[in-house]
Amino acid sequence: MNGIYIGVVILGIIVLFIIIRGINRSQQQEPNQSFSASSFNATIENELSRGIDGESLIEILGLENLPSDGQKEIIEAATSVIEKRCLNRILESLNKQEKQDFIDILDEESPEVVQNFLKSKHLDPSSILREEVLRFKEETADKFS
Q: How far apart are CA 12 and CA 87, in angstroms?
A: 6
CB 33 within 8 Å of CB 125: no
Please list the pLDDT of the chain residue by residue as tens digits (145 residues): 555 555 555 555 655 555 555 554 444 444 333 332 234 677 788 788 876 677 888 888 888 888 888 888 888 889 889 988 987 888 899 999 998 887 788 677 677 787 788 889 999 878 888 899 999 988 888 887 6
Q: How far apart are CA 16 and CA 90, in angstroms?
A: 9
pTM of the full structure: 0.65
